Amino acid sequence: MIKKLIRKILGTKSKAARDANTPVVLGPEAHGIDPRLLSNNAVRVTSTLQEAGYEAFVVGGAVRDLLLGVKPKDFDIATNATPEQVKRLFRRAFIIGKRFQIVHVMFGNDLLEVTTFRGTTSANAPKDEHGRVLRDNTFGSQAEDAERRDFTINAMYYNPANQQVLDYHGGIEDIRAKTLRIIGVPEARYREDPVRMLRVVRFAAKLKFSIEPETGAPIKVMAPLINNVPAARVFDEMLKLLMSGHALACLQQLRKEGLHHGLLPLLDVVLEQPLGFKFVTLALESTDARIHAGKTVSPGFLFASLLWHQVLEKWEAYRAAGEQTIPALHLAADDVLDSQTEKLALQRKIGSDMRDIWAMQPRFERRTGKAPHKLLEHQRFRAGYDFLLLRCASGEIDAEIGEWWTAFYESDEASREDLISSASQPSGGGNGGGTKRKRGPRRGGRNRSGGGRGGEGGGSDAGGSAPSHDGGGD
Q: Do residues 201 and 180 make contact, with C-beta atoms less than 8 angstroms apart?
A: no
Distances (CA, A) of 251 to 35, 241, 254, 345: 34, 8, 5, 19
Question: What letter would DSSP give residue 118?
Answer: B
Nearest to 460 by CA among 290, 305, 307: 290
Nearest to 254 by CA among 225, 230, 220, 215: 220
Residue 447 corresponds to which amino acid? N
CA atoms within 13 A of residue 365's CA, in its CB half-sphere: 22
Annotated catalytic residues are: 74, 76, 150
Secondary structure (3-state) at 162: coil
Nearest to 122 by CA among 57, 54, 183: 183
Helix (H) / strand (E) element for 447: namely none
> Is residue 52 classed exposed, middle or buried when 0-12, 13-18 and 19+ CB atoms within 10 A define those classes?
middle
- Sign of CA pseudo-dihedral 394, 398, 399, 401: negative
Strand partners, 78: 57, 115
Question: What letter would DSSP give residue 133?
Answer: B
Separation of alpha carbons 230 and 194, rounded Å = 11
Secondary structure (3-state) at 174: helix
Residue 326 corresponds to which amino acid? I
Question: What are the residue ranges of helices labelled H in 177-272?
Answer: 186-192, 195-207, 213-216, 219-222, 231-242, 247-257, 267-271
Q: Do residues 261 and 268 make contact, with C-beta atoms less than 8 angstroms apart?
A: yes
